[in-house]
């Protein structure tokens, strides 16, 4: 194993004068025994799946439960009117994150990054900044390897599971992964990538996993939207030179400890939070009563 935490990851990239993406590629070569070309090809396929999911979501989809669908289209129509408050690039990332998760809810094919419930943030931000930074296909693949490097650290030192650590472990991790990757694609340093991850995850600590009716739809889809906007903002902050007062690895450790202290009702059981509201319970009864369980 080349690295175990973010500090080691950043040190390796700096000492070898390469991108974080390159360190992750080397780790995959060492771990899998596959040739570099094979590893790149596999990630290229993941990128294609992401692109296709976004395209499908932006064409309009509905989930079988009826809880989600169509919001990505509404956002794109809103952007086209040219009077957005948040800005077109940020809202494009949000809409594409939503599109991906709407496809997931509609039983379509997505790429878990790091999970299905948080699958919108990384591709949503990637395909939004693509129109600004104009990356090559190889640079887009590297974006995913950078995200994978940070996801690898979280998975091995904390958790990426909502059942284990709440939504902070899913959308929180995905948002940090996206922020770090955006920074690298924009020409930031490995240290700035780590700062972006830390800033992002700090702002999602304590986020619970409370799916209505136990489905990965409400509030999951909209949490991916907020995760994408969080990632974009944190990336800009890091690129501006802003740092996290708490080191990245310590933020990850804090997330793990917070997840361990969460009651089970707030960890993907559908027994607390929004799932336990009167409307949440009514939706659960309606959905399960229709024979979808």
pLDDT one-digit tens code per residue, 55-77: 999 999 999 999 999 999 999 99
- Judged on CB neighbours under 10 Å (0-12, 13-18, 19+), 65 is buried
Q: Look at residue 280 and tell me whether its pLDDT is greater than 80.
A: yes
The verdict on residue 116 lying in a domain is: no
Query: What pLDDT was estimated at residue 170?
Result: 98
Q: Tell me the three state secondary structure of residue 201.
A: helix
* Through-space distance between the first and last CA atoms of the chain, rounded to whole angstroms: 42
Residue 99 resides in a domain: no
Task: With 0.85 as the threshold, say if the pTM is over it.
Answer: yes
Which residues, at least 6 apart from 250, have a Cβ–Cβ distance to it below 8 Å?
none
Per-residue model confidence as pLDDT tens digits over 127-184? 999 999 999 999 999 999 999 999 999 999 999 999 999 999 999 999 999 999 999 9
CB-side exposure of 249: number of CA atoms within 13 Å?
12
Query: Residue 272: is its pLDDT beyond 80?
Result: yes
Mean pLDDT of the chain: 97
Give the CA distances from residue 134 to residues 186, 201, 271, in Å, rounded to whole numbers and listed in that order.
Answer: 10, 27, 44
For residue 150, tell me if it sits in a domain: yes
The count of residues in the chain is 293
Summarize the confidence of residues 82-100 as an average pLDDT.
Answer: 97
| Cα dihedral across residues 119, 121, 123, 124: positive or negative | positive
Is the pLDDT assigned to residue 282 strictly greater than 90? yes
Reduced to 3 states (helix: H, G, I; strand: E, B; else coil), residue 25 is helix
**Number of domains the chain is built from:** 1
Domain ranges, residue 133: 6-50+122-285
In-domain check, residue 274: yes
In a domain, 117, yes or no: no
| 10 found inside a domain | yes
pLDDT digits (tens, 9 = 90+) for 114-129: 999 999 999 999 999 9
Region 80-102: mean pLDDT is 97
Confidence of residue 290 (pLDDT cuts 50, 70, 90): low
Torsion angle of the four alpha carbons 110, 61, 177, 31, in this order, in degrees rounded to the nearest 10: 0
Q: Is the pLDDT of residue 291 over 90?
A: no
Question: Does the residue 80 lie in any domain?
Answer: no
Whether residue 73 lies inside any domain: the answer is no
Per-residue pLDDT band for 1 (boundaries 50, 70, 90) equals confident
Local confidence band at 293 (pLDDT 50, 70, 90 cut-offs): very low
Q: What are phi and psi of 205, to 5 degrees?
A: -60, 135
Distance CA 4, CA 10 (A): 11
């Amino acid at each position: 194993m080349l690295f175990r935490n973010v500090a080691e990851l950043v040190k390796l990239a700096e000492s070898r004068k390469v991108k974080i993406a390159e360190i992750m590629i080397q780790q995959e070569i060492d771990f899998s025994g596959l040739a570099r070309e094979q590893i790149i090809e596999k990630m290229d396929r993941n990128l294609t799946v992401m692109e296709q999911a976004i395209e499908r979501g932006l064409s309009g989809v509905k989930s079988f439960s009826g809880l989600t669908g169509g919001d990505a289209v509404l956002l794109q129509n809103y952007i086209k009117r040219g009077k957005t408050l948040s800005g077109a690039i940020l809202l494009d990332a949000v809409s594409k994150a939503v599109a991906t998760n709407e496809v997931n809810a509609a039983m379509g094919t997505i790429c878990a990054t790091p999970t299905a419930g948080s699958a919108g943030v990384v591709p949503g931000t990637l395909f939004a900044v693509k129109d600004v930074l104009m990356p090559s296909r190889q640079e887009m693949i590297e974006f995913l390897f950078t995200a994978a490097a940070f996801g690898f650290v979280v998975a091995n030192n904390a958790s990426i599971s909502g059942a284990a650590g709440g939504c902070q472990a899913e959308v929180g991790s995905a948002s940090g992964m996206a922020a770090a990757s955006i920074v690298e694609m924009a020409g930031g340093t490995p240290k700035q990538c780590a700062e972006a991850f830390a800033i992002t995850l700090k702002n999602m600590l304590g986020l619970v996993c409370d799916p209505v009716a136990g489905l990965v739809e409400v509030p999951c889809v909209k949490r991916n939207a907020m995760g994408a906007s969080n990632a974009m903002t944190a990336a800009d902050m890091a690129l501006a030179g802003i740092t996290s007062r708490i080191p990245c690895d310590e933020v990850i450790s804090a997330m793990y400890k917070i997840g361990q202290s969460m009651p089970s009702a707030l960890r993907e059981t559908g027994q607390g939070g929004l799932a336990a509201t009167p409307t949440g319970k009514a939706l659960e009864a309606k959905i399960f009563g229709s024979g979808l369980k």
